Amino acid sequence: MPEIPHDIIMAAAQGDVAAFETIYRGCAGMVYTTALRITNNRECAAEVTQEVFIAVYRKLPSFAFRSSFTTWLYRISVNAAINQVRKRAMEKGHTVAYDEQTMAEHTATPATDALEREPTRQLIARMLAALNPDQRACIVLRNIDGLSYEEIAITLKINVNTVRSRLKRAREKLIAMRAREVRHAV
């Protein structure tokens, strides 16, 4: 996770917009990528990123450095993204199919490199699409963002056993999905 200097956070907390932009530039990628992987949708991820940074700007004066700033920001982002998925599912009455192009289109990777990475990026998108939002969040936090079970439990406000069982079910699904794909390919 990116580290933001203490004095930048303090300046932003006092309303320094330039300092806040430094925070945004340092952390927007983390917030957006996490939101995108959890929500499946570029528009939703952009909306979550925007709402998270506005909320953070307003809450900065009361941030007391009891945890690291980026951990705090990351937790807010994950929960905002999950809430966005739930809200959208309620509005539409169903889970929206995973936007596979999402990952391909909004990337910071140079074009030549992007071509080589394409299969992996699509594979990740397809795998995440196969999961329900709760399972997806656990996989993103564990496999992509590298959080421990305990950190995931704190972030998602669930207990460690639930983290473990969600990961287990998610991974069973992913293995079954890959097995089907391999069978089809043969």
Binding site for other proteins (CB under 8 A): 15, 17, 20-21, 24, 28-33, 36, 45-46, 49-64, 66-67, 72, 75-76, 79-80, 83, 87, 103, 106-109, 117, 120-121, 123-124, 127, 142-144, 148-149, 157, 164, 167-168, 171-172, 174-175, 178
Residue spans of alpha helices (H) in 93-148: 100-105, 111-129, 133-139
- Residue in this structure with the two tokens 């330039």, named with its chain if needed: 18
Q: Which is nearer to other proteins, 13 or 96 (CB)?
A: 13
Residue 30 is which amino acid? M
Contacts of 71 (CB under 8 A, 6+ apart): 1
Residue 115 is which amino acid? L
Q: How far is CA 123 from the centre of its chain?
A: 17
Q: Which is nearer to other proteins, 95 or 161 (CB)?
A: 161
Query: Shortest approach of other proteins to residue 67 CB, angstroms?
Result: 6
Q: Which is nearer to other proteins, 11 or 45 (CB)?
A: 45
Query: Shortest approach of other proteins to residue 66 CB, angstroms?
Result: 4
Q: Which is nearer to other proteins, 132 or 143 (CB)?
A: 143
Query: Shortest approach of other proteins to residue 11 CB, angstroms?
Result: 14
Q: Which is nearer to other proteins, 5 or 17 (CB)?
A: 17
Which tokens hold the place of 49?
């990123």
For residues 47 and 92, the answer to whether their CB atoms sit within 8 Å is no
Q: Which is nearer to other proteins, 46 or 96 (CB)?
A: 46
Dump the DSSP string for 71-108: HHHHHHHHHHHHHHHHHHHHHHSSPPPP-HHHHHHS--
Query: Shortest approach of other proteins to residue 145 CB, angstroms?
Result: 9
**3-class secondary-structure state, position 171:** helix
Query: Shortest approach of other proteins to residue 93 CB, angstroms?
Result: 19
**3-class secondary-structure state, position 29:** helix
Q: Using CA atoms, how far apart are residues 123 and 39, in angstroms rounded to an integer?
A: 17
